[in-house]
């Protein structure tokens, strides 16, 4: 009976384990989705912060470039005035450079003639001699009339000073007929950008960069490599993308230190400049990684605890099911012989009878009685008699091998066997096997009489009108007939009248 009971008892355990596993999957899925969403929010916040920094730099740079441009335009306008020819050099100098004082970090503001010679200098009343025809800003204006405001490549100033690196803002000076008359140029120390960038907190291992639209680096804070100013970076993949797109953000790996950074960049107004903020993704996601680690550990502990509790509960369920199964088997088993008891026999008989009525398959009942058991019990005592009953019960069970067959103790020394789907011919063979096997049991020491059994059998077949009570009665009468016919034999009720 244990195989038939094991499946239903294991089903709740499997449902419990399955439910726990599904719960763990749901918990892990929800936590993973939340972490992914928080990762996306962290990235979006970092993008907004970097974009705000670029906009702040754009506004400051654009405002200062406008100041330099105003100074250049004022210088060009002053050169076009005819009334300055007769004034003193001091007044002429004040008129030429009256707008240059407001420009921060300014270097020299010069007025060059058509040959590149200095004809006016903001720092000196009488300008020093010098020629700047070799500078890119002079050559561009001389070759192209409509350049407008030109921003040069970084260059070293022709002086011994702390911050030699500078860039120049320049405009063409043209005659009324359009002829090239020279260049107005104002230089700005690149330390302006270093000071501007250093006031912005972007974290360690992150950089702020200013490049022109040819990919030339003008400023970087902090400097990742030595001598980076005026270096052409246009062939580097990240810079090439910025030069192509002008505005936007992306994640990329630096070609300098191979670290991943979040790049946010934008053009400075209409100027040929691009500001790029490169924030280390390790810093961007540092707090998220710590939170994700703690949440993952807590979730892991929770899931492992849930699975462990489910496993312990399933063990307890198995233990309880085993106990219930043992109790059920004890309630259904005869304590002396180990075969089914009378109550189980009655339940199985009614079950198989109903099944036989539906399927019209034959049903056979064997009634088995141990011959001369009272005399055997008197000779060997109750202990010997009990041992003989257990041996006979074991022989009966050994000869019925189908799962649906049932051997039960009917009472005293009498046993019953229920054989579903078995006709009279098959039941006769089984009965004879049982009878012969009992007869050939080893004899009890000191007793020359073998243990034998008498068997009566009755079969219900299709179209038979007998009831269950008739089936049992005929089997019992066939047993009675077998005992009165000499014992140790099998008698079929179909061959004997009631």
DSSP annotation string for 351-399 = HHHHHHHHH---EEEEEEEETTHHHHHHHHHHHHHHHHHHHHHHHHHHT
* Position 365 pLDDT exceeds 90: yes
What span, in angstroms and rounded, lies between the C-alpha atoms of 46 and 202?
10
What span, in angstroms and rounded, lies between the C-alpha atoms of 171 and 137?
9
CATH number, domain of 63, equals: 3.30.450.20
Q: Of 270, 302, 331, which residue is a domain's last?
A: 331
In a shared domain, residues 115 and 215: yes
Q: Of 304, 331, 358, which residue is a domain's last?
A: 331
> pLDDT at position 10, please?
61
At 28, is the secondary structure helix, strand, or coil?
Answer: helix
For the ranges 118-127, 245-254, 272-281, the lowest mean pLDDT is seen at: 118-127
In a shared domain, residues 256 and 338: no
* Position 382 pLDDT exceeds 50: yes
CATH number, domain of 476, equals: 3.30.70.270
pLDDT, tens digit, 9 for 90 and up, residues 440-477: 999 887 777 889 999 999 999 988 889 999 999 999 99
Q: Which domain holds residue 448?
A: 333-495
pLDDT, tens digit, 9 for 90 and up, residues 93-127: 666 666 555 555 667 788 899 999 988 888 777 88
In a shared domain, residues 368 and 440: yes
pLDDT average, residue stretch 424-442:
94
In a shared domain, residues 289 and 419: no
pLDDT average, residue stretch 310-321:
85
In a shared domain, residues 358 and 312: no
Q: Of 296, 331, 366, which residue is a domain's last?
A: 331
pLDDT average, residue stretch 266-294:
91
Residues 210/228, Cβ–Cβ less than 8 Å: no
In a shared domain, residues 378 and 460: yes
Percent of the chain with pLDDT over 90: 48
* Position 436 pLDDT exceeds 70: yes
What's the number of domains the chain is made of?
A: 2
pLDDT, tens digit, 9 for 90 and up, residues 218-229: 888 877 666 778
Q: Which helix (H) or strand (E) holds 5?
A: helix 2-79
């Amino acid at each position: 009976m244990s195989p038939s009971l094991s499946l239903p008892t294991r089903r709740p355990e499997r449902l419990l384990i399955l439910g726990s596993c599904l719960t763990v999957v749901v918990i892990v899925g929800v936590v993973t989705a939340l972490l992914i969403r928080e990762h996306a929010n962290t990235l979006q916040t970092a993008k907004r912060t970097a974009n705000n920094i670029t906009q702040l730099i754009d506004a400051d740079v654009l405002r200062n470039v406008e100041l330099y441009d105003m100074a250049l335009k004022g210088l060009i306008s002053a050169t076009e005035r005819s009334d300055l020819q007769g004034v003193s050099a001091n007044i002429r100098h004040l008129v030429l450079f009256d707008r240059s004082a407001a420009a921060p970090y300014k270097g020299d503001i010069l007025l060059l003639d058509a040959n590149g010679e200095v004809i006016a200098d903001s720092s000196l009343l009488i300008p020093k001699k010098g020629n700047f025809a070799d500078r890119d800003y002079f050559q561009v204006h001389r070759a192209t009339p409509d350049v407008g405001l030109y921003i040069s490549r970084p260059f070293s100033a022709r002086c011994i000073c702390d911050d030699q690196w500078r860039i120049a803002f320049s405009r063409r000076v043209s005659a009324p007929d359009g002829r090239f008359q020279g260049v107005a140029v104002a230089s700005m120390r690149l330390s302006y950008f270093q000071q501007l960038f250093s006031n912005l907190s972007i974290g360690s291992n992150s950089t702020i960069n200013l490049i022109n639209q040819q990919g030339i680096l003008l400023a970087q804070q902090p400097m990742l490599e030595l001598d980076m100013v005026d270096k052409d970076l246009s062939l580097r993949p990240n810079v090439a993308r910025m030069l192509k797109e002008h505005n936007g953000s992306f994640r990329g790996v630096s070609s300098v230190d191979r670290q991943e950074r979040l790049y946010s960049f934008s053009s400075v107004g209409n100027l040929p400049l691009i500001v790029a903020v490169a924030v280390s993704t390790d810093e961007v996601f540092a707090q998220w990684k710590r939170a994700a680690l703690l949440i993952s550990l807590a979730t892991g502990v929770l899931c492992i605890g849930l699975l462990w509790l489910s496993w312990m509960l399933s063990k307890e369920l198995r233990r309880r099911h085993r106990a219930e199964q043992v109790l059920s088997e004890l309630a259904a088993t005869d304590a002396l012989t180990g075969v089914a008891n009378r109550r189980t026999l009655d339940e199985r008989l009614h079950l198989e009878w109903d099944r036989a009525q539906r399927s019209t398959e034959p049903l056979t009942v064997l009634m088995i009685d141990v011959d001369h058991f009272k005399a055997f019990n008197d000779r060997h005592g109750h202990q010997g008699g009990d041992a003989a009953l257990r041996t006979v019960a074991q022989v009966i069970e050994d000869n019925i091998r189908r799962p649906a067959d049932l051997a039960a103790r009917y009472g005293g020394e009498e046993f019953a066997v229920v054989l579903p789907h078995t006709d009279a011919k098959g039941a006769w063979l089984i009965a004879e096997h049982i009878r012969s096997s009992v007869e050939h049991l080893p004899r009890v020491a000191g007793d020359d009489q073998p243990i034998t059994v008498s068997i009566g059998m009755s079969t219900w077949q299709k179209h038979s009108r007998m009831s269950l009570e008739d089936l049992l009665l005929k089997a019992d009468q066939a047993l009675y007939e077998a005992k009165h016919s000499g014992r140790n034999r099998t008698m079929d009720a179909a061959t004997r009248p009631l």
